[in-house]
Structure 1
């Protein structure tokens, strides 16, 4: 049975203790191996991305992520989705795996980027998973970006994943609604990091990713073909700096953590690593 949990990771609350003049907010980050699509729709089996993606369940952390095929036996996902032991992972193909409607594949091996780190900038949150067998019949790899495809601010794309439709606390009975069901939404790139390794999405319009969508693809239509241009990596939000513990608890109960900003790894930046490591993993 696939189950889930929710957690968040501090990014730069240190600003408060340093008394740096940065206003009354600090930033926080969730790598959400348990994060879902907000403002979107449930996907159907006849939509192309439904044949590219799979749910990644991690028994050791009791969490799930999203991943997508780049070869018949290789899945691209976020590094933080791997957990401690790759053998604890199960891959479920299907649009409603939480209902038990899925085809299972076991993991042969996995690798994450050698410079991966859990927080901060330049996190290199990229990983590859090799399946024991190939993907089920009817599932196929999605193409990766060609050289002439420019990843720039304003590019509109389809975000898809198995996560939540709300970033509010679990005290909200609707918080987990939608988890474990493949969903999609159209959104766009707001900005790109200086080193081109990440791009960012404004989610204040209630459209984007949330907890469980980690590792899912950003799908961009280019010259009548679909390409995966990004890997869902994290959500980011702000909190007032000066709060008591009780005030913070109350604030977090009402805060929608998925309603500010999301972060994607820029696949084009990582193409050399993906090509090299996927070939090694396939041997």
Structure 2
């Protein structure tokens, strides 16, 4: 039975003897994704999430990552090392979507809805080759089933949740229809809303624990946020569809700009 978790990360499993990488993926080229953010979260349990840089002092992530005090690391490849490219910044303010909730589907299963959160950093980062924002999608047509996208993160690198990646991992994922996604996940189609995007239809290619909040990137723009999926890390995975939340994101950023708390 499907048990949807709020993935505090995503990962990928390899065949025996292969080089360690995300399920069906590989090590990312260092700093090839300068928008990637690593979130250190200190609460009752120290956990990790991903995110991505929108403005010089704004990061977008998943609302279910709101579990404690957050420090954001930009410009990282190997998070176990103190790299010269890294910029560590504490979070000044967390703004989860006001309608974020976990919808019970029965038998202990919960589905995160409106799963996104803006993080205002205490200071702007310095833009370099290793640290740079990624553009939001336009309000036009959303990404369609069959589109090839990619996801990245420092989540689990096997089906053991504690086996977390040191270096940034990446994987290619195909977007699938919500109808196909609901069938593969053995869920009612009624449980899926327009805010949900599904990706992953082959082998073991997927995101997993520790990758939550990271981006699904299609044609150079971010289209989704890693949200949840089966507890064993198998595809498909569920993402928050960003185009459905553009009005809220832009309104929140405009209000913060007027208050002088957000960088252009």
State TM-score, norm by structure 1. Answer: 0.73
The correspondence for 1:76, drawn from 60, 74, 94, is 60
**The one of 74, 79, 98 aligned to 2:80:** 98
What's the secondary structure of 1:265's corresponding residue? Answer: strand
Q: Which has the higher contact order (CA 8 A, sep 6+)?
A: 2
1:122–1:62 CA distance, 2 compared to 1 (3 A): closer
Residues 169-220 of structure 1, C-alpha deviation per residue, up to 9 Å, x if partnerless? 65xxxxx15x242111111111237532001123551112111110010111
Q: Does 1:30 align with 2:14?
A: no
The whole-number CA distance in structure 2 between the counterparts of 1:186 and 1:204 is 10
Greater helix share, structure number: 1
Gaps of 5+ in 2: 12-21, 104-109, 179-188, 260-264
TM-score normalised over the length of structure 2: 0.78
> Aligned residue for 2:127?
137
Q: Distance in 1 between matches of 2:161 and 2:243?
A: 34
Could you tell me which runs of 5 or more consecutive residues in structure 1 were left unpaired when the two chains were aligned: 1-25, 171-175, 238-256
1:162 aligns with 2:146: no
Aligned to 1:112: 96
CA RMSD, Structure 1 to Structure 2 (Å): 2.0
Greater mean alpha carbon deviation, residues 136-145 or residues 200-209: 200-209
Residue 27 of structure 1 deviates from its aligned partner by 1.6
Aligned partner (choices 218, 221, 238) of residue 220 of structure 1: 218
Q: Which residue of structure 2 lines up, in the alignment, with residue 231 of structure 1?
A: 225
